[in-house]
Amino acid sequence: MPSISFSELKLPSPVSQLNSPLLSEKQVQLFIKRDELIHPVLQGNKWRKLKYNLIAANKTARENRQNTILSFGGPYSNHLHALAYAGKQFGFNTIGIVRGEQPQPINSCIQDMLNWGMQLNFIKRVDYKQKTSPVFLQTLKEQFGDFYLIPEGGNNALGKKGCGELLDELDQGYDVICCEVGSGTMLSSLIENNKNLQNNILGFVVMKNINIEIEIRNSINPDNVKNNKWSLSHDYHFNGFAKASNELHQFILNFKQQFNIQLEPVYSGKMLYGIFDLIKKDYFKPHSKILAIHGGGLQGLRGFSEYSEINFENTKSP
């Protein structure tokens, strides 16, 4: 049966303060919670969403002698990538249900998953939309046998529990806490676990999803909410998920040169671009303390030719 040990993870992740002429001019302080440094592969919110799911899967394995985990994602999925590595490290069999046809040639993310022993099943997009249907899940059990199910992106109660621990790692207060918003797991967890009645939570939506606010509200247990001051920005998705522009790419390259912090264009790059743009527009009050949560996902940089010269040694199989 699998054995779980998290000793190689660097927790709590550090917080770095940024300094620049713009921040001084606007009289705001900007900090980054460096979750990308938790681990070369099990990094960012992907690790936080997996933590308690892995513990639950381990319990299931010991009780039922069934040690297979199944989950969903796209062909560049940070979630499946992290799960495949975790499966190899902790002794789980892993199955990834991948949206769309298998890329030709196989991309580096998929190659990592295969190297780490994940069984991949590529399905049509129309079928993928049924991933939460009980009927569809039953067909998967008939095909693969029993498995522990983790929803796409780790978006369940256990995923939120892991994300909520981030707030416990903070040793000072902030006026605004910013995060990337894909599935909304991290944002909803921050809302439910935020006990500081003074701060605001601002989520930067990374895709075109006009229903995301409704989805987040529906996922929140109102009995757990002490501070309901949160909002979403839809202005920095750059025309869709994994879409970018030359301006965003240049911002990421400049950011790395100026602050020695690597971003990527799917999640963290969009959030930080948005934060700096809002600072320029005086969105934040003078003397505000802003915390941005770096969600990791740096392995996804390999899908963008603009970063072909970046050393990805730490994102490959250790």
- Does the pLDDT at position 72 exceed 80? yes
pLDDT, position 80: 97
* Residue 209 domain flag: yes
Q: Using 50, 70 and 90 to split pLDDT, how confident is the model at 87?
A: very high
- Does the pLDDT at position 290 exceed 80? yes
- Structural domain total, the chain: 2
* Residue 4 domain flag: no
- Give the percent of the chain with pLDDT over 70: 94
pLDDT, position 317: 32
Q: What is the pTM of this model?
A: 0.92
pLDDT, position 314: 41
List for the chain the helix, strand, coil content (%; round to 5).
45, 15, 40
133 and 190 co-located in one domain: no
Which of 235, 295, 233, 232 shows the shortest CA–CA distance to 266? Answer: 295
229 and 136 co-located in one domain: no
- Does the pLDDT at position 307 exceed 70? no
Among 121, 154, 187, residue at a domain's last position: 154
- Say which residue, 183 or 279, is predicted with more confidence: 279
245 and 150 co-located in one domain: no
* Residue 130 domain flag: yes
Q: Using 50, 70 and 90 to split pLDDT, how confident is the model at 315?
A: very low
Among 154, 176, 204, residue at a domain's last position: 154
134 and 269 co-located in one domain: no
* Residue 168 domain flag: yes
Among 154, 171, 203, residue at a domain's last position: 154
User: What does the alpha-carbon distance between residue 247 and residue 312 come to, in Å, rounded to a whole number?
Assistant: 22
CATH number of the domain within which 238 lies: 3.40.50.1100
Q: Using 50, 70 and 90 to split pLDDT, how confident is the model at 242?
A: confident
- Does the pLDDT at position 169 exceed 70? yes
91 and 53 co-located in one domain: yes
- Does the pLDDT at position 127 exceed 90? yes
- Say which residue, 4 or 243, is predicted with more confidence: 243
55 and 145 co-located in one domain: yes
Which of 229, 184, 140, 175 shows the shortest CA–CA distance to 49? Answer: 184
162 and 145 co-located in one domain: no
Give the CA distances from residue 126 to residues 79, 99, 117, 129, 130, in Å, rounded to whole numbers and listed in that order. Answer: 21, 9, 27, 6, 7
- Give the percent of the chain with pLDDT over 90: 84
What is the residue range of 27's domain? Answer: 15-42+158-315
124 and 199 co-located in one domain: no
Q: What is the pLDDT of residues 136-159, one digit of tens each?
A: 999 999 999 999 999 999 999 999
Q: Which two tokens stand for residue 228?
A: 């309901």
Residue 119's H or E segment, with its range, is strand 119-123
31 and 68 co-located in one domain: no
67 and 37 co-located in one domain: no
Strands laid side by side in the 148-149 sheet = 119-123, 93-99, 68-73, 148-149
37 and 136 co-located in one domain: no
Q: What is the pLDDT of residues 177-203, one digit of tens each?
A: 999 999 999 999 999 999 887 899 999
User: What does the alpha-carbon distance between residue 95 and residue 120 come to, in Å, rounded to a whole number?
Assistant: 6
* Residue 6 domain flag: no
187 and 310 co-located in one domain: yes
Mean pLDDT across 203-216: 95
Backbone angles phi, psi at 233, to 5 degrees: -115, 125
pLDDT, position 7: 80
* Residue 33 domain flag: yes
Q: Minimum mean pLDDT among 5-9, 80-84, 106-110, 140-144: which range?
A: 5-9
* Residue 55 domain flag: yes
Would you tell me how many other CB atoms lie within 10 Å of the CB of residue 139? Answer: 12
The per-residue pLDDT of the chain, averaged, comes to 92
- Say which residue, 122 or 65, is predicted with more confidence: 122
Cα angle 205-225-169, degrees, rounded to a multiple of 5: 75
* Residue 5 domain flag: no
* Cβ atoms 207, 236 nearer than 8 A: no
